[in-house]
Structure 1
Amino acid sequence: MKQQFAIALALAAAASTATAQSSVTIYGVADAGLVLERGGPAGNVQALGSGVASASRIGFKGKEDLGGGLTASFQLENGHSIDTGAAGQGGLLFGRQAYVALSSTTLGSISAGRQYSPYYKALRDVADPFVVGLAGNAMNMVATTSRVDNSVEYTTPRVNGFSADVLYGFGEVPGDTAKSRTVGAAVSYTGPESLPLNLVLVHHQRDNALATARSRSTMLAARYRVGSVTTHASLSHNQDLLQRASNDALIGATVTMGQGKWLASAIFHRDQSTLSQDARQLAIGYTHNLSRRTDVYTAYAHISNRNGAVFHVGNATDNGTGTGGFNLGVRHVF
């Protein structure tokens, strides 16, 4: 009996230690808003949109302290449409993110699964004042791949403000490693509080299914804060699968005023081909915090297309159909 009691105590102590060293968090976003579109080929659109400022989602993330500065973690994130209850990302269970990672305080981190590309993170976190949401979403004009399946990513520790990450997405085609392959890489700098500057130089490329053509994008993005004003800028050079080149330039600002925040940006697309299908997007928006977790938002954007360019005003989860778009909605984060 005493031996069984001692074993039970040991197991309880081990369970207590494991609980103290690991954690799992359930989180999410519930976002719905009015979406008005103008200038589409099929006419104007009035709709209730889901995930207008931020995609609606529910996620699970956890980590375990393995000791010696080593941590294991995972993230599983499901996207869905709050207006209909349908699954997002084509019905994938965890279509937003699904990965497992090992991190070291001295060696950096490595993750594997379905995860965001370095290019997308630079656009979202540094370049775009709209954080790739609302009608002013930079992805209306700046082409990128947001998530990469079957990918492995390595991120270095940050040293004197500098860090780098490299991502490789396996095409998984038997006999040919180049088909459907994705490669991304970024070098970034984050300044101290006395120099609130963020800089990112990032590259993304993807081979087509036959490895006969490759799309490429390279971007330099910057963000700088002065008091309540944050300025944003980026310049990118692109080459699509048809080897047509283009340049994208973005300039924007975020202005915090009490519980509110004003957002504005201008994006210019220059087609370097003989078609000269240029375009310009102008956008303005406002978000107001009702609490730490809930805000209301509104935004408007307009795109001017030239010579047959077909860019549309969308939002965080909708590519849009028109050249003008208006949003009004509410977002709750939990």
Structure 2
Amino acid sequence: MKRKLLFCAALSVFASGVHAQSSVTLYGVLDEGVMFQSNNAGGRRVYLDSINGINGSRWGLTGKEDLGGGLRAIFTLESGININNGQFAQGGTPFGRQAWVGLASDSYGSLTFGRQMDMVVYFPSPLSVAGLISTSIFSHPGDIDNTANSIRANNSIRYMSPNYHGFSYGAEYMVGGVAGNVTGNSGYSLGMGYTGGPFSIAAAFEYFKNPTSATAGQGWFTSNANGVSLLAFSLNKGYVSASAYQVGVIAASYKIGPVTLAASGSNIQYANMTGTLAGQTARFNNADIGLTYAYRPDVILGIGYDYLVGKGVQTTKGETIGNQHYNQVAIMGQYILSKRTDVYLAAGYQRATGTSSTGAPAVADFTIGGDSSNNHQFVTRLAIRHKF
């Protein structure tokens, strides 16, 4: 009898804990496609991919608990997955997409802590062509400004405001955590946006000190568990010695009936480099424009154009590198089978000219698969996406 009473008491404690939890939701997206590249370092390539679609494949848990007085506890744990081999995405990081906890209020906004997305991803990115039409085929070369959400901010403290009649803003600080250097590997990110009727506009700015770290999981470009730098492409890997990185992005969209127009511009800088680029700053400017057309409720078409230009810098030997230009065009057709399932076909062509950051001739560089073997590349993706 005593054991039964103890068991019932334990169940009542557990039940009260479940009752106090307002909600926990399991969700996910599986986005699997057949990819074709006309050329890369090894020639033509055909392969399966579940990372570079409209949505990178993922699963997650999100929840909230009402604390009274309009205050609630919130959390999200989200893991990117490669469904072809069952491995984690984001360089093998178990919860590489998001992992945070915090407090939220309808009146005062939210304050959260953990591995989180930056203000570029929250504000201007959804209004850019890369965010509107999505898939890495539409992303800016090398995702140089993070509008395709390639990088997350570790050790971050983020504040997001409520929505004030269409206007909202946010701020984020990344704690470096380097022993003996309080500001090392640290950074901040600011963003704001406004939506009124069919028109939306947003902007963001971010700055990081010592963005590349020798310690896996620290720094901006080395924030994944494997510690591999995401300065991995010839267009910018020559700038790995930069002691600071900053980016500013502005984007806008406008909806006219079944058509949505989108455009964005960004400035990217790798500052105060060392070695043969001592003290110099490499600068890039990127612009895109595109649209989607809802031909029918179940058929959506999209087209986008992107232009990236890099300003050349001089080495200590007097050589000019990094004066490179990228022209990219992409199209996509999407057929919606149900509320949760759709199929789509995307294709893109990119051409590069000039000299890359390594001093070699510039090569095509879709975010999907790294450097091409020459200055032009054609890619396609035929995929199915299921949301749960």
Q: Give yes or no for TM over 0.5.
A: yes
8 Å Cα contact 1:284-1:299 kept in structure 2: yes
Q: In the alignment, what sits opposite 1:104?
A: 105
Aligned partners of 2:102, 2:372: CA distance in 1, in Å?
Answer: 38
Q: In the alignment, what sits opposite 1:297?
A: 344
8 Å Cα contact 2:365-2:372 kept in structure 1: yes
Query: What do residues 72-111 of structure 1 show as CA deviations (whole Å, max 9, x unaligned)?
Result: 1111111111111112122221111100021111111111
1:41 deviation in Å?
A: 3.0
Query: What do residues 7-56 of structure 1 show as CA deviations (whole Å, max 9, x unaligned)?
Result: x89x9699469627511111111121110001323211111112332111
* TM-score normalized with structure 2 length: 0.77
1:121 deviation in Å?
A: 2.9
8 Å Cα contact 2:363-2:372 kept in structure 1: no
148, 153, 161: which one pairs with 2:153?
A: 148
Aligned residue for 1:312, secondary structure, equals coil
8 Å Cα contact 2:140-2:367 kept in structure 1: no
Q: In the alignment, what sits opposite 1:326?
A: 380
Q: In the alignment, what sits opposite 1:276?
A: 323
Change (3 A) 1:122 1:45: farther
8 Å Cα contact 1:314-1:325 kept in structure 2: no
Mapping for residues 117-156 of structure 1, pairs under 5 Å: 117-127=118-128, 128-138=130-140, 140-144=142-146, 146-156=151-161
Letter in 1 for 2:90: Q
Aligned partners of 1:276, 1:158: CA distance in 2, in Å?
Answer: 42
8 Å Cα contact 1:52-1:327 kept in structure 2: no
1:279 deviation in Å?
A: 0.8
Q: In the alignment, what sits opposite 2:187?
A: 182
Higher relative contact order (CA 8 A, sep 6+): 1
8 Å Cα contact 1:25-1:60 kept in structure 2: yes
Change (3 A) 1:232 1:239: same
Letter in 1 for 2:338: S
Aligned partners of 1:129, 1:148: CA distance in 2, in Å?
Answer: 19
Aligned partners of 2:34, 2:132: CA distance in 1, in Å?
Answer: 17
Change (3 A) 1:37 1:130: farther
Please state if 1:163 is matched with 2:168: yes
Q: Which moved more, 1:116-125 or 1:170-179?
A: 116-125
Letter in 2 for 1:43: G
Aligned residue for 1:90, secondary structure, equals coil
Unaligned runs of 5+ in 2: 214-240, 274-280, 314-321, 355-360
Q: In the alignment, what sits opposite 1:224?
A: 254
The alignment-based identity, stated in percent, is: 32
Letter in 1 for 2:366: V
Aligned residue for 2:42, secondary structure, equals coil
1:276 deviation in Å?
A: 2.3
Aligned residue for 2:331, secondary structure, equals strand
Report the aligned-residue RMSD. 2.6
Unaligned runs of 5+ in 1: none
195, 198, 201: which one pairs with 2:200?
A: 198
Change (3 A) 1:310 1:204: farther
Letter in 1 for 2:248: T
8 Å Cα contact 1:236-1:247 kept in structure 2: yes
Please state if 1:264 is matched with 2:265: no
Q: In the alignment, what sits opposite 1:38?
A: 38
Q: Which moved more, 1:274-283 or 1:59-68?
A: 274-283
Q: In the alignment, what sits opposite 1:60?
A: 61
8 Å Cα contact 1:168-1:183 kept in structure 2: yes
Aligned partners of 1:139, 1:131: CA distance in 2, in Å?
Answer: 15
8 Å Cα contact 1:129-1:232 kept in structure 2: no
Change (3 A) 1:67 1:319: farther
